[in-house]
Amino acid sequence: MTMTARFGKRQRLLCAFACAMLPGLGATAEASDWYLRAALGVEQSNDAEFFDRDCASQQPAALFGCVRGDDGRPLGAYGDFGRYPLLEVAFGKRLLPWLRTDLSLGYRFDSDYQGNANFLSVGTHEPVSADFESWSGMVNAFVDLAPLIEADLGRFQPFVGVGAGLAYNQLGKVTYRFPQNPYRHKLSVTPGGERTSFTYRLTAGTGIRLTDSLMLDLAVAYTDLGKVGTNAGVMAMNHVPMGIPIDETETDLRALGVSVGLRYGF
């Protein structure tokens, strides 16, 4: 994908995000039980290690195999997905004074996996890189604590929440470099891959009432996006023009994040 195309896609997403937030900016009427929610956040990936789906696979061959590297750890790629933005929109309903639920769609983008592999006899500097993005759909439930304990906290409405659903995780081609290798093998590129995984999220935060219909939401969350991996295919190598068949590799993606958003009741 060209940089121009990626930029245009992000502009459209940001425009959609802004449009989702606009209806509530001038609202002052009494809110009903239904609401729209839109949020912008950033997440920081936990450690994410890529290993073979089956380290004993021979046809196609496992990328790493069932052995340990010079550092004593199983052969693999050790790194994380870094820090990346999150856009989310949701449509929901308050079921009880203290309980609300919604359906959300989230998009995570502009993420780059960065790590280091530990293959044998090619040096200790073995950088690994790949692009990543993810779509997620979740069912969320939130408990608003002030009405639950019958406390008057003024404009502040603290809440906790849990969500579960599916994530569609897309990983680009994974590049392995071996700049210290004394032999011709300096570069390997495996296929990218897609995974549809169970995802869940735990949230805590507070709403800050701006008008009768409009709430500012500040939140922190732990999210498990499930599996991210490469598909089986041909691995390109700088010294093997035809490449070699290679099996799948996988990791788990878990992250901590913060977000700010608006919730509009109508």
Q: What is the pLDDT of residues 147-198, one digit of tens each?
A: 999 999 999 999 999 999 999 999 999 999 999 999 999 999 999 999 999 9
Ranges 12-21, 69-78, 127-136, 139-148: which has the least confidence: 12-21
Higher pLDDT, 28 or 92: 92
- Alpha carbon distance 86, 259 (integer Å): 8
Domain 3-265 class in CATH: mainly beta
Mean pLDDT of 115-125: 96
- Alpha carbon distance 203, 263 (integer Å): 16
Please provide the average confidence, as pLDDT, over all residues in the chain: 91
pLDDT at 32: 64
- Cα 39 to the center of its chain, rounded Å: 15
Give domain limits for the chain: 3-265
- Alpha carbon distance 243, 208 (integer Å): 57
Mean pLDDT of 138-143: 98
Closest of 234, 207, 217 to residue 39, by C-alpha? 217
pLDDT at 9: 55
Task: Please check the confidence at residue 135 and state whether its pLDDT lies above 80.
Answer: yes
Mean pLDDT of 120-146: 97
Task: Please check the confidence at residue 222 and state whether its pLDDT lies above 50.
Answer: yes
Instruction: Report residue 10's pLDDT band, with 50, 70 and 90 as the boundaries.
Output: low
200-215 pLDDT per residue, tens: 999 999 999 999 999 9
Contacts of 8 (CB under 8 A, 6+ apart): none
Taking the complete model, does pTM exceed 0.75, yes or no? yes
Instruction: Report residue 29's pLDDT band, with 50, 70 and 90 as the boundaries.
Output: very low
Instruction: Report residue 241's pLDDT band, with 50, 70 and 90 as the boundaries.
Output: confident
